[in-house]
Amino acid sequence: MSSHEHHHIETKAIHAGQEIEELHGSVTIPIYQTSTFAFHDADEGADLFSGKREGYIYSRMGNPTTRALEDNVAAMEGGYRSIATASGMAAISTIYASYLSQGDHIISTDAVYGPSRVLMERDFSRFGVEYTYLDTSDLDAVKKAVRPNTKMLYIETPANPTIGITDIRGASDLANDIGAVLVVDNTFMSPILQRPFEHGADIVIHSMTKFLNGHSDVVAGIIVLKNEAQFDLVKKVLWRFGGSIDPHQAWLVLRGIKTLPLRMAKSGANAQAIAEFLEGHPKVKWVKYPGLKSHPHYEVGLKQQDGPGALISFGVKGGLEGGKSVMNSAKLATLAVSLGGIETLIQHPASMTHATVPMEERLETGITDDLVRISVGCEHLEDLIADLDQALATIKV
């Protein structure tokens, strides 16, 4: 990682964490598909287990392919070390378990990725962890929610699926004032467009299933730490819980990352044009996209993002039925949950991912019946606009 420390992020995406394999000269890192590693002698084994020597013991506790991926993402984010996990939720649950104890309190974004909220409300609450979910783009509201036992601020910015933006520096200042750890879910932006450590974050996480992998064929997560003490704490929690990534998964994500800068540039350019198209469409009521000046947090986005990203939320006329009509009529955009793939995905939260959430709770977090979320891919722009136009034309108002 250190050999690429001063390179631009596009170069880091391709090279960081990866050296030419010495035995046969393999240009790409091999897949070390092994559960365990042999020791040269008993002393080496003892040194590895005691921590006197760095190396590999058992793939749940580390693997050369996994390490290459971890060093790659840490280099892009500007962190100390990373810990790759079997899923984004494995990363989130590991962070909760590492930093929250009975009687502690967490403040988090209300429109955060659903399972990360459900995990807290249904599971960690059983062990005595308290929680408050609110619009973290309103830092005054966050300040009012602080309790003496608040130990973590957990923000997702932009938020899912409302595309609200939280000021990372402002959240960091507040976390420092109260002695809490600031965790930023950077999945929507990727390190190409946003590097939360530069704005005061303590820990950065990703669902690597999304933009980092970019091909809708892997489930994986990662935790990026900014110092050795954090790394030593979190890695042992992960080892005990067992949410480690498989080396083949790690290799696939590492392969996907090589095109991450190209994909983010193309999908972002497509998204900007599509957002502008939607904003002027007669069947569209509103559009939330960080690249539009109409976004309520447009200026905050300019401060901390290197681009507006590929996620757009918009409201269609006709409410719930209008949203369903668009879903049923889209032909090129794939009707599927998740995001960040090279192909365009579209979904309607009110009738799909959030259909079981009580309406009052949905509306409180800004997930209205008319909201459609689109993860813009890398197809030709004219094809995408034509598909959305014909789908919107089916709405009866």
pTM score, whole prediction? 0.94
Residue 4 CB contacts under 8 Å (≥ 6 apart), including other chains: 11, 12, 15, 16, 75
Residue 238 and residue 269 share a domain? no
Closest CA to 320 of 370, 276, 387: 370
Instruction: Select which of 113, 133, 154, 289 is catalytic.
Output: 113
- Structural domain includes residue 287: yes
Q: Is 210 a catalytic residue?
A: yes
Residue 155 and residue 266 share a domain? no
Number of domains in the chain: 2
Q: How far apart are CA 241 and CA 130, in angstroms?
A: 22
Q: Return the CATH number at 65.
A: 3.40.640.10
Instruction: Select which of 71, 135, 167, 185 is catalytic.
Output: 185
- Structural domain includes residue 397: no
Q: Is 303 a catalytic residue?
A: no
- Structural domain includes residue 127: yes
What integer pLDDT is reported at residue 367 of this predicted model?
A: 86
- Structural domain includes residue 2: no
- Peptide bond before 296: cis, by omega within 30 degrees of 0? no
Residue 106 and residue 228 share a domain? yes
Q: Return the CATH number at 349.
A: 3.90.1150.10
Instruction: Select which of 58, 60, 131, 317 is catalytic.
Output: 60
Q: Is 217 a catalytic residue?
A: no
Residue 85 and residue 199 share a domain? yes
Residuewise pLDDT in 10s, the chain (397 residues): 457 778 999 999 999 998 877 778 888 899 999 999 999 999 999 989 988 888 988 899 999 999 999 999 999 999 999 999 999 999 999 999 999 999 999 999 998 888 899 999 999 999 999 999 999 999 999 999 999 999 999 999 999 889 999 999 999 999 999 999 999 999 999 999 999 999 999 999 999 999 999 999 999 999 999 999 999 999 999 999 999 999 999 999 999 999 999 999 999 999 999 999 999 999 999 999 999 999 999 999 999 999 999 999 999 999 889 999 999 999 999 999 899 999 999 998 877 777 767 788 788 888 888 999 999 999 999 999 999 999 999 999 8
- Structural domain includes residue 70: yes
Closest CA to 151 of 180, 121, 124: 180
Q: Is 60 a catalytic residue?
A: yes
- Peptide bond before 158: cis, by omega within 30 degrees of 0? yes
- Structural domain includes residue 215: yes
- Structural domain includes residue 1: no
Per-position DSSP letters for 179-210, written without gaps between them: T-EEEEE-TTTHHHH--GGGGT-SEEEEETTT
What integer pLDDT is reported at residue 4 of this predicted model?
A: 76
232 neighbors 95 (Cβ within 8 angstroms):
no
Residue 203 and residue 101 share a domain? yes
Domain boundary residue, one of 220, 235, 257: 257
Residue 215 and residue 311 share a domain? no
The residue segments making up the domain with residue 130 are 7-257
